[in-house]
Amino acid sequence: MSMNLSYRQVSPGFLEKIIANPGLTKAIYEVELRQKMVELHERISGDPLFVEAFSQLNYNFDALALNYSFDQSLIPFSPDEKIYSLQIDTIWHALHFLITGEEKEQGKLPIGKVIMGGTPIGEEVGYGPARYLRPAEVSNVAEALNSISDEELQQRDLTLLEELYGHFSQEELPLLLEVFKDLVKFYQEAADRGNAILIYMT
């Protein structure tokens, strides 16, 4: 099964609530999953091709969406807690190597915290518990990311990952560079807002 990595910004005040109530990490993840299911249902339910496909499979997508619907009052954070999130899916390991130049999980700090860092908290939400970076750590990581030159990334040799895992060839470098830009932007915006970051591996 694939391992997907996602990030969510939270305010410093809400991070303290999470630290005091670690169960909130799983609640946040489940609420966002339900939101995504409802959004997906809304997006495709009007498409005849999808409706026909699900009918051929004898699959009741409306029932599935209803199962994932939720009472807004149950959201475990304030309605004005705007959601800033980023998903980098299954390429997190290649991205870690691109950023740190190291295949192993431990990277040079604070740059090693981009993908693998953070303090574990709460219940398992897929592959281990969520992890959090405090605002000061987020600022340090953003600064470290911005210090990496395009030339340094362009010179990174991905053949080691290809040898170890049979994928992530050098041809995928342009894709990784695009995702890297999204990651730099996400961390910088979080730092500018003074936010903390939650990291989920699911």
> What's the pLDDT tens digit per position in 92-143?
888 888 888 776 655 557 888 898 889 999 888 878 898 999 999 999 999 9
CATH of region 5-23+79-201: 3.40.1760.10
User: Which own/partner contact pairs does 105-108 have at CB distance under 8 Å and 24+ positions apart?
Assistant: none
Query: How many Cβ atoms sit within 10 Å of the Cβ of residue 140?
Result: 18
The single-letter DSSP state of residue 90 is T
Q: Cα separation of 185 and 12, whole Å?
A: 19
Q: What is the pLDDT of residues 22-48, one digit of tens each?
A: 877 877 776 666 655 555 556 656 666
Question: In the chain, where are the structural domains located?
Answer: 5-23+79-201
Q: Tens digits of per-residue pLDDT, 46-79? A: 666 655 554 554 444 444 444 444 444 444 444 4
Q: Do you find a cis peptide bond into 110, omega within 30 degrees of 0?
A: yes
pTM, full prediction: 0.75
Q: What SS3 state is found at 200? A: strand
The pLDDT assigned to 23 comes to: 79
Beta strands in the chain (DSSP E): 5-10, 84-89, 119-124, 129-133, 196-201
pLDDT digits (tens, 9 = 90+) for 181-201: 999 999 999 999 999 999 988
